[in-house]
Copies of this chain bind each other. A is one copy, B any other.
Amino acid sequence: MTTADHGRQLHLNAFLMNTGHHEASWRLPESDPYAHVELDHYVHLARIAERGTFDSLFLADGPQLWGNIAQRPAGALEPLTLLTALATATRDIGLIATASTSYNSPYNLARKFASLDIISGGRAGWNIVTTAGAEAARNFGLDAEPAHAERYARAGEFLDVALKLWDSWEDDAIVGDKASGVWGDDAKVHPPRHRGTYFSVEGALNVPRSPQGYPLLVQAGSSEDGKTFAARYAEAVFTAQQTLADAQAFYADLKSRTRQAGRDPEHIKVLPGIVPVIGSTQAEARAHEQVLEEHIVHTHGVQRLEQLLQLEPGTLELDARLPADLPPESAIEGARSRYTLVVELARRERLTVRQLIGRLGGGRGHLTFAGTPEQVADAIESWFTQGAADGFNIMPAVLPSGLDAFVDHVVPLLRARGLLRTEYGPRTTLRERYGLPRPANQYVTAPAPVLV
């Protein structure tokens, strides 16, 4: 029995990251330090998520090696490649990959997503990122990262081109008439002939239109530029929110911006990230969390925090608070919304640098919630029913055990409360799982009236 007809349904996304979202997770006895390059590890995780009837799974990414590999597992299989392998190992779950608009060509990327969408039977999603940081820029011929506003301007044009490419074949362009020798209807192919600021793309895509038309469009930046972009293009948004009030404000703001952009606010799904740490009692959950915190190497955390806050190395002291004179968000050209989230968290809760590192170690600014399955389900239900979320981005601190715990103990509660499907039912597309319509083709218009 599916529960699709039982009222508003929760959407769940499994955010997979090697041995887990806690930076020290790889040090636990149960963890495999090579997990990040092992297909079997990811197949196992994907199948757990399918057991939990999640809408989708997700892989983050950036085209650079982060920091020093001494600190923690570094590097990852390229997400579109890994998701293609997972497509063949799963049946129902959506497959969302991060890819950068700053360091890809629209033609190549549009084609890869169309190919994944075809191979997976309509289960592809694209988490659109503009990629902060000079490290990535320097891998692609630039000396420094492009300014925040410019990255978003390029992202907007990238999307416009990609949408033209995905629409460049009408759905019924293939005729396949063997008798006459006509394979396709050339009038149903529409080359973009795009000439813009960042891109010139002349020809049609060399893949037919895919089952979903194009991948589910996902976005995760919460800066002003990010929210404007999301309101225009995104169908799902991942966000980091620490309090119910902040999450409600973000939710209302994004729905309102989406309405102002001329879109139906039901067509953008907001999924805050949550790092559930589950125990049979609250004390057991807290003990799990404690073990992870004890495995954090603080000197590494200080380095990363100084990098994020654009401070000189050696500025921060472990047992002091953040300096009072940090620059405003608008002065940050990197990951702007993450900067603000971290600074506000530290100030609101009056955290020392050591405490802040402990809090960030779990979910990099996402809400860490340690508790019993009932407490986790209550938190989810409360955000979901109080205008803070359409679903959640589930980010287990330790993988696979944390995802197993969520699926075995929290998912049954959510199902019993009528919030989550109990089975997938017939095969369908990722966009349908999220309750979104298949997009129309921009080149197909109603036939012109015949003048008599």
Contacts and interface: CB of A to CB of B under 8 A. Distances in A.
Contacts of A34: 174, 176
B115 A78 contact: yes
A142 B199 CA distance: 10
Interface in A67-111: 68-78, 80-82, 84-85, 87-89, 103-105, 107-108, 111
A203 B115 contact: no
Prevailing SS type, chain A contact patch:
loop
Interface in A245-283: none
B69 A183 contact: yes
B26 A105 contact: no
B189 A69 contact: yes
A326 interface: no
B203 A138 contact: yes
Contact of A70 (B80, B183, B206): B183
B88 A206 contact: no
B33 A63 contact: no
Nearest to A210: B37
Contact of A69 (B82, B104, B114, B173): B173
Interface in A153-187: 169, 173-174, 176, 178, 181-186
Given A39-B118, A70-B184, 13 more contacts: A63-B206, A76-B207, A77-B119, A78-B115, A82-B119, A104-B105, A104-B108, A135-B202, A138-B200, A138-B202, A140-B201, A141-B201, A142-B200
A322 interface: no
Given A89-B88, A108-B103, A181-B27, A115 B77 contact: yes
Contact of A75 (B62, B116, B206): B206
Contacts of A111: 63, 78
A112 interface: yes
A204 interface: yes
B141 A199 contact: yes
A295 interface: yes
Which of A73, A135, A201, A202 has the largest number of chain B CB atoms within 10 A? A202
A305 interface: no
Contacts of A178: 26-29, 31, 33
A297 interface: yes
The list of the 9 closest CB pairs from A to B, nearest first, reads: A69-B184, A33-B176, A138-B202, A84-B84, A81-B115, A75-B206, A78-B115, A65-B206, A77-B115
B206 A76 contact: yes
16 contacts: A26-B178, A29-B178, A37-B208, A63-B107, A69-B189, A75-B169, A76-B207, A78-B114, A78-B207, A81-B81, A88-B89, A103-B105, A103-B107, A138-B203, A139-B201, A142-B200
